[in-house]
C-alpha cells in the first residue's frame, strides 16, 4: 500500500513538473510574440518607403559617370561598369525606361576631355535622351586603408538628375549615395577583388535606384 502511494506521488510530481514546463514554455513564447508579433505570422515587419523622385517611368535616360584620374587609372572601366550596373537596376525596377548607349557615352567622354564642364542636360540632348543621371564619384576603393589584404568596397557619389528639355535649368533632383560592402561584417581576406567590386557596385546601384520607386524595408 505504501509503495503504491509513493508511486502515485512520484507520478503526480513528474506530472506537475511537466505541466510547469509547458506553462513556462507557453509564457516564453507569449512574451516573444508580444516583443515581436511577426513570430506568430512568420513575416518580418516592414515599412513603406515612398520614392524621393518617382519621375523616370517611360523616360529615355543618359547615364553620365564622372570618376577622377586615380580611380580610372586603377580601374580603367569604372565609368562603364558603374553605368551598366545602374542601368540594369533601373530596368528591373522602373517601367518603360530606355537608355542612351553607355559605350557611346564613354567614347564621347574620351574624345572630349572637357565634357564635364558642359551642362549635363545639353549633353543629354546630343544623346537623344529625356533625362540625364549624372554620377559624380567621390570615393571608389576596394581595400581597407590599413590593410591591402582586407577587401571592403566603398563607393560614394553625388547624383543629379536633369531634364534635357530645359538645358539651361538646374537639376531636378540631387542626392548623395554612399555604400560599404560588406556592411555589417569585417572585410574579406584574399585576392578576389573582382567579386567585391561587382557586389559593391550592385549595392550602390540598389541604394541609388531605391530613391526612384516605392518599396518596403525591414524594420529593425
**Three cell numbers written together for 155:** 563607393
Identify the burial level of 215 via C-beta atoms within 10 angstroms of its C-beta, where 0-12 means exposed, 13-18 middle and 19 or more buried: middle
Range of the domain at 7: 2-43
Whole-prediction pTM value?
A: 0.78
| 160 shares a domain with 67 | yes
**Which residue reads 518603360 in cell numbers?**
96
| 28 shares a domain with 72 | no
List, in sequence order, the alpha helices (H) in 42-174: 69-74, 78-93, 102-111, 120-126
Domain count across the chain: 2
Task: Select from 62, 66, 68, 69 the least CA-distant residue to 79.
Answer: 66
| 35 shares a domain with 105 | no
| 31 shares a domain with 98 | no
| 19 shares a domain with 65 | no
**Three cell numbers written together for 149:** 589584404
**Three cell numbers written together for 102:** 553607355
**Predicted confidence pLDDT, tens digits, the chain (220 residues):** 444 444 434 434 344 444 444 444 444 444 444 445 545 555 778 899 999 999 999 999 999 999 999 999 999 999 999 999 999 999 999 999 999 999 999 999 999 999 999 999 999 999 999 999 999 999 999 988 777 678 889 999 999 999 999 988 899 999 999 999 988 766 666 668 899 999 999 999 999 999 999 988 888 7
| 173 shares a domain with 73 | yes
Amino acid at each position: 500500500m505504501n509503495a503504491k502511494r509513493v508511486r502515485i506521488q512520484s507520478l503526480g510530481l513528474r506530472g506537475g513538473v511537466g505541466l510547469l514546463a509547458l506553462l513556462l514554455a507557453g509564457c516564453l513564447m507569449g512574451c516573444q510574440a508580444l516583443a515581436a508579433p511577426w513570430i506568430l505570422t512568420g513575416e518580418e515587419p516592414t515599412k513603406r518607403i515612398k520614392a524621393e523622385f518617382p519621375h523616370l517611368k517611360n523616360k529615355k535616360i543618359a547615364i553620365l559617370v564622372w570618376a577622377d584620374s586615380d580611380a580610372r587609372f586603377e580601374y580603367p572601366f569604372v565609368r562603364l561598369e558603374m553605368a551598366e550596373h545602374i542601368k540594369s537596376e533601373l530596368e528591373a525596377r522602373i517601367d518603360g525606361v530606355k537608355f542612351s548607349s553607355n559605350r557611346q557615352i564613354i567614347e564621347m567622354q574620351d574624345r572630349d576631355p572637357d565634357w564635364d564642364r558642359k551642362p549635363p542636360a545639353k549633353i543629354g540632348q546630343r544623346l537623344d535622351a529625356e533625362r540625364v543621371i549624372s554620377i559624380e564619384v567621390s570615393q571608389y576603393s576596394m581595400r581597407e586603408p590599413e590593410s591591402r589584404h582586407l577587401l571592403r568596397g566603398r563607393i560614394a557619389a553625388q547624383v543629379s538628375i536633369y531634364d534635357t528639355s530645359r538645358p539651361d535649368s538646374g537639376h531636378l533632383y540631387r542626392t548623395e549615395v554612399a555604400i560599404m560592402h560588406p556592411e555589417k561584417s569585417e572585410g574579406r581576406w584574399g585576392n578576389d577583388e573582382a567579386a567585391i567590386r561587382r557586389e559593391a557596385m550592385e549595392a550602390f546601384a540598389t541604394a541609388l535606384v531605391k530613391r526612384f520607386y516605392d518599396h518596403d524595408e525591414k524594420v529593425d
